[in-house]
Each structure stands twice: as C-alpha cells, then as structure tokens.
Structure 1
C-alpha cells in the first residue's frame, strides 16, 4: 500500500537526485561570460558615472539594464592590474617576477583565469592587448595560460590601431594593412562566440581592449600609422570608439540570440591618463597633450599612475538580462583580484586548493549582500604601496587621509590628533598593510 509518506519520500528523492540525472551536455546553468577591460579609462570618462565630456551610450545602457558598482578599484597602472585580474593575486605574491613590466609569472601558469574557466568546461578566447609577454618571443604564451584561441597586438612591436601588428593563434597576420585593430579584435571575438554556440559550449571571452591607451612611442626608427590628417586619435575619439566596440559586441550577442544567456562584465585597468600622444611637433618629437574630463560639473585631470581615486577608482558594470536586476547599484568594495573567483563561482566551480587574494562578488550580483565583505583595497606601483578603507587611505610612507572630507588627498592627517575611532581605523589599516608587505607568495 502506497501511503502519502511514501509519495513524499519519492518526491524528495527525485528533487535531490535531479541535478545528478541531468546529462553532462546540459550547461544552461552556466552562462556565457564576456569580460571587457578597457585601457586607461577612469570613471570620469563614463557617462553613467557622471562623465560629461564623452558620450558613452552603449556602456551607459549596460548600467541601466544591470548593476553599477560605485567602489571598484584597480592598480594605478596597467601591468599590475592585469596580473591581478589574470591570477586573483596581488603582483608581489610572485616576487620580482610579478612586478616585472611586460612579463607574466611562471608560477601563474596553470592557475590563471583562462585555466580556471577551462576547468569549468568553457571555450576560452582573448583578443586585444596582452602585455604579459613580448609576443614575438613567446608565440604560444596565451595557450599556456588557458586560452584556446587569441588575437593580440604585438605590444611594443608595432601598432595597435591603424595597420596593426597582430598575432592570431601564434601566427603573425599579414592582412592588417589599411585595417583598424579594434575592428579586428571584435570581429575575432564575435566569430569565437558564434563558433562556441554552434559547438554547444559555454564561452569565456576576455576582451582587454587596446582602447583608450595612446600609441606606443618606443619603436626604433619609426612610428606607428596615423589615424588621419597626420595625427593619431584624440582621447575623445578613442572613448567614442571604445563605446562603439562594446555596442557591437552586445548587438552580436542579441543577433545570435545569446544575450539572455550571457553575463557581461565591463571594467578598466586604471584611471584616465594625464596625457596622450596625438601628433609630431616641428621638432620631430611626439607631442602629448594633457587629458582631462568634466565629471559632475568639475574638471578632473587624468590620474593614471596615482594611488588616489583618479588613478585607481574604475568603472564596473555587470549586466545579465533576467538575472541581474536592472538599474541597481552596489556600494561594496571590489578590486581586480576579485574577478577570477567571481567568474569561477558563476561557472559552477567549487573551492580550490590555490591561494587567491580575491573574494568572489558573485553573490552581490544576485542581491545577496550578506556573504561577502571586502573592507579594504590594496594598491602598489613602482615600490610604493597604499591601502584604503571606504573612508581612509594609508600610504606606506605614513601619510593618512580622510577620503570623505578630503577626496583629493590635499592634507595628510596628524595621527596624534585623530579621534579614537579614526585612530583605531589607522591601526587596523597599518596592521593589514604590514601583513601584505611581509607575507610571502604561496
């Protein structure tokens, strides 16, 4: 005789076993992930962050339809930022290798963001700016750090924009004359996403943009091709092109009917540059006009290279239709080490036996603010280090600033004159900074 107790037990068993009964080919719970990291773009240059100098309608639309983070941070310059994103660790964890410009630590091979996504069954690709090796000397480097395919310009080997010098899957391309690099990077990623759809695999597409970094100035005996009229692109033109590339990728996902199955993350590697190469002067030297933006009615000079908010506070937008609530904002702190554990969690991966500095912010995307707390941000650049909380920043030379009353860090605080609560916060940040300074790589 079948009783209600037996029925309930059977239903309960089916519920428990249902995930185990699904065929391995079903990956509906694993979204595609498009991670975009623009180059040299601070919050001051983005419309949805109060920027008034440069229209960014496509990026603004991602924020309007998703979640905008108000406290996302990077390193002050591009190379350490990329090490953070790729490894989920701060560069000093790898010793001198982690700090070497244009290099990638050998110890990070096998544990990078690309490797992690492949572990989750994703097809992986990267296009744009690599900066983690001299490509001509290491043609297979992206493959060794987890990418199935790649389309990357030769950093400090040639142009990134007009007539770009590009390597695709280990081969130097011979068809780039008269073409525009960002077009080629986006076309490559669109082809990759389309192929992944045909293959029935979720994809992880990483787009470290060339835009909006200016042209290189260190090619011996030659210069890269001009944009037009005997000059390179202005910063405003690069911002417009950056936004256009984002729009093209979103449109392609919609055309492929993948938009609702794709999480898009947009961020940048550091703040806006203080200047950008534009032309060659009468003296034969490259001229580099200053760059500034208007944000919320105030003039903001580019702060790349600085530890303050003009150099390290960056946009972060997360958009996934139907999964991330439209028009939401997050005030929790995030830095670039957090991206690897975040995409790994979203991809369904569990805990790993690898040390990461990063903390997943995946719960925040879906409205759960209880599981994650980051109450400090660490920065390092050329031997200088700082740490900040939501209110204060402490430098390793002892300077201490209240970022609420002095956001431009004009007047360091006298520690002895602080109220007790501020003294306690100073002591807490000092302990943390000391720990980060002495803790060896794991």
Structure 2
C-alpha cells in the first residue's frame, strides 16, 4: 500500500469518520401485532423478540398495508402501493412494475452489499435481482413446502434438510459472512406464519398441550420458531463482532391471520380488513449504543423505511425521485432521548384493502377504505354493492355474506360478525383507536369537522392516485382469478410437522 493511502486509512478513526452501519430488515409474513409475548399474548413466550423490543426504539403507532404484496411494494418504493401497480397478492396484480425504483438499488450504487432471503411476492419480472439485490436466496414451491426444500441461491439449486425458516436464517448468515468487511443490507422475509401451516413438532407440542386446536397450535409454533431463529441470528452477530455495527429492524407485514381468535391485542379485524387490526404492526429498530430504547407513539408507517435507511447509510435519493416519496425520515425520532410530540403531527395515511375482482376498480373508491390521522381511524367496511362485481369471489362477495349474517369467515371461527363487521353503507365511521382499539364507539357524529376534512383528503388522494394505479396495471387480470387462487390453496396436502 502506498504511504499516502496508508496514512489516510490510519487517519480515519482520528477524524471521527464513522463506519457505515450494516442493516438487517426482518419482515414476517401474516404475524399480527399481538403475536408477541411483550404485547400481551397469553400463550407465546417469544423471549428473543421480547429482548429485541426491549433494546429497540419501538414504534407503537406503526402501520402497513392490509396484505403482504402491497406492504412489500410500499416498503421498498416509499410510495403507496397503488402507485406501484400492486393491489393484490395474486397475478398479475402482485407484480411490481420494473420502472419503480426500490431503495436497495440506491444502496447498491452507494457501495452496499445487498442481500435478499425468503419471500419476495412481487412477481418475477424483474424479481429481486432486478430491484437492487446482488445476492438472492429463496426456496422453490414458496409457502407450499416447509421441510427439506430446494433453495435457489444466486441461480444455483441447493438441496436442504430441515425446516424452511431455519434455512432462511442460515442463508442470511451465509450472506453476511460473504459480505466480509463491506457494509451490507439484508432483507430477510419469512413465509411463516402464513398458511399453509406447518412447523417442527417440538414447537407445536407446547401449544397443543395447552389445549389449543391444531390450527392455532401450529400457527403459534411458526411464530415461536421465528423467535428461536431471531435468537440464533442475534447470537451470530455478537459472536462475529458485528453486533454494535449492525442495525436490526423487525416488522410484520399485515394484521393477524390464523391466530385471530386466540389474541389480537384487543383490536378488531385481521389481515385484509379495514379495521384497526388489519394494518397495525410492530416495528422494532435496534442499534446498540446509538439509540435509546423506548416506545414512541408517533404515527409512522412502512412508507418511512425508504427515506430513513437512505439517510442512515448516507445514500443520496435522486432529485427526480424525492418528490414522489410519501414517507418521512424517522431519524429525528430514532435519535431523540424522549417523545417528539410535534413530529409530522398533521400526517394522514390512506389505506385500501383493494381486493376487488380485476376490472372493477372504479366501483371501489369507498369500499374497504381507511384514513388515519393521529390516533383517529376513519373507515368504511362495506362491499361495493355492484351486482356484477358480487358475482366473483372477492372481498366484496365475502362482506356481502357477512352482511347477511355469516359467522364463520377467514381466520374468524364464529367471530366473523365482530372481526369482519360491516359499517353503515355510504357513511364513514370514526374511532380513536388508542382509546378504543375494538372500534366500538363511533365518533363520526361528534367530530363532523374532522370527518369532513379527512373525507376531502381521501377523495383527493383517490382521484389523484387512481389514474396512476390503472396505468401501472393495478386493475389488470381475470376477474375470476380469486376463485382459482382459493381452489389452489384449499387443495394443499403437505406435511404439517416433521413427525409426519
């Protein structure tokens, strides 16, 4: 090494030039906000998730999209999922348009090693390697095979033994080792605890012994297995000397699913509902020695990940892209020593379940929609009423059945009238979800000014976003695709534990 270069290298620590942090972003699939022991769950232990929460800045008023592909699109793009063309979890409306810029693309250009492990669910054209990831590993058969799966790592097939999620975490550690001394960003997306449900028997047995049925026991076992693997990952970071230089972020991608009737943190509604439980997520951000662990109550969202990670890594956001981002930089909150009450206090978030049959978007402006500001959630949980739409299997058909008295529906076995409740037709309802997470005390008549203001904001948002969503393919496809997807899902006959 030339002497001037060696001198500069040795001078870096004296000048206080900080090493850029590594970042691991863990996104769990179909785990609810309440599926953590520290959030009051009566059966889960989750010691490692509890510890991560205790050592993190925990955003307790954090929201995502109502289902998994939309959340992933919004998180990676920093824009509402409608503007990326992702409005569903089935083709073609799960496809992230290749023109959308994802923040890993910018990190890669800034010298970061970028790794993706697990569930992508945004289509294969271009897929993760075309959206900024230079190291990719996932399993064939997606969520349908849990044990002894075939993985594809950087286009090479690898036969594995054991449980799929264990391998996901093994692959994450392999990527980190290969990154060497380079700064890295790893996006680790589990399939657990998404259906179909299966887990190692040793994780299922304690919940079955506690009196839970097989569905609930296996669902919670999948959550507990994630926690076990989180513990392995955190130990790996410490043992390899990376702990203090690595930010660990953990978020769930939508509301609770098969654990709904066990515990939902006192909230109404699961995944794919307009109610509070459909979009509230845990959000833990850990950087030891840098951020003071505490709970923050500011209204935050998955949209904030893009600008925050770019700031953390010193990554410049292109000038033409910056105005399109809808999220806010969380650094002022992460660096603060206490609460920051005035941070983006006027912020408004827009939610839409969006599971209309393809070709019927125009009828769903006010079907299954929500507007959020501060502690208030204004929503409509109702089908569109269009007789042609209601012929197809979709969320509208389901809500019509709820309206007619159905008591059993997805995830709700006898509780559908509560968790999938129908709100009054052609009318917003309003709730203070911090005082009333069950959404039982409608404040719309008491706060007409707030309702009018949020209604105006929502109408403008829809009218501005709708043309872009249509142009990006958000209403494309076969309207009967939902029925075909449901039939495929119901035909699964795989192993539910390693004892079979």
TM-score interval, smaller chain: 0.7 to 0.9
Matched with 2:96 is: 105
Equivalent in the alignment of 1:313: 280
Q: Name the SS of the counterpart of 1:323 in structure 2.
A: coil
Q: Distance in 2 between matches of 1:108 and 1:52?
A: 45
Q: Structure 1 pair 390/51, CA: closer, same or farther in 2 (3 Å)? A: farther
Question: How far apart in 2 are the matches of 1:125 and 1:152?
Answer: 11
Distance in 1 between residues matched to 2:336 and 2:317, nearest whole Å: 21
Structure 1 residues without counterparts, runs of 5 or longer: 1-17, 217-224, 277-289
* Secondary structure of 1:234's aligned partner: helix
Q: Structure 2-normalised TM-score?
A: 0.69
Structure 1 position 141, deviation (Å): 2.2
Which residue of structure 2 lines up, in the alignment, with residue 207 of structure 1?
Answer: 188
Residues 38-57 of structure 1: matches in 2 within 5 Å?
Answer: 38-57=28-47
Whether the 8 Å CA contact 1:74–1:81 is kept in 2: the answer is: yes
Alpha-carbon RMSD across the aligned residues, in angstroms, is 3.0
**Pairing partner for 1:430 from 451, 455, 467:** 455
Q: Conserved in 1, the CA contact under 8 Å of 2:276 and 2:439?
A: no
Equivalent residue, structure 2, for 1:182:
165
Residues 227/329 of structure 1: CA separation in 2 closer, same or farther (3 Å cut): closer
2:262 maps to 292
Q: Is the 8 A contact 1:41 1:271 kept in 2?
A: yes
Structure-2 separation of matches of 1:315 and 1:226:
23
Residue 412 of structure 2 is matched in structure 1 by: none
- Structure 2: gaps spanning 5 or more residues: 1-7, 205-213, 356-363, 381-425, 470-500
Tell me whether 1:71 sits opposite 2:61 in the alignment.
yes
Q: Report the count of equivalent residues.
A: 380
Match of 2:219 in 1: 235
Over residues 91-110 of structure 1, what are the superposed CA-to-partner deviations in whole Å (9 max), with x where a residue is unaligned? Answer: 21134x5556353332444x
- State the partner residue of 2:344: 373
Task: Label 1:248 to 1:363 Cα distance change in 2 as closer, same or farther (>3 A).
Answer: same
Per-residue deviation, residues 148-198 of structure 1 (Å, max 9, x unmatched): 111113465841x2133432212343x13x4211121111111111221x2
1:30 to 5, 20, 42: 20
Q: What SS is found at the alignment partner of 1:193?
A: helix
Partners of 1:92 and 1:294 lie apart in 2 by 27
Q: Report the CA distance between 1:131 and its aligned residue.
A: 1.0
Q: 1:256 to 1:226 in 2, by over 3 A?
A: closer
1:20-42 Cα offsets, whole Å, 9 max, x none, are x969xx98341000101111112
Q: Match of 1:439, SS?
A: helix
Provide the rounded CA distance (Å) in 2 between the counterparts of 1:234 and 1:301.
22
Q: Name the counterpart of 2:299.
A: 333
Once the two structures are TM-superposed, the CA of residue 202 in structure 1 deviates from its matched residue by: 0.4
Matches within 5 A, 1:80-95: 80-95=70-85
Give the TM-score normalised by the residue count of structure 1.
Answer: 0.78
Q: What SS does the aligned partner of 1:44 have?
A: coil
- What residue is the counterpart of 1:408 in the other structure? 438
Q: CA deviation at 1:209?
A: 1.2
**What's 2:177 paired with?**
194
How many Å apart are 1:411 and its aligned residue?
5.1
Mapped to 2, the partners of 1:121 and 1:345 lie a distance apart of: 14
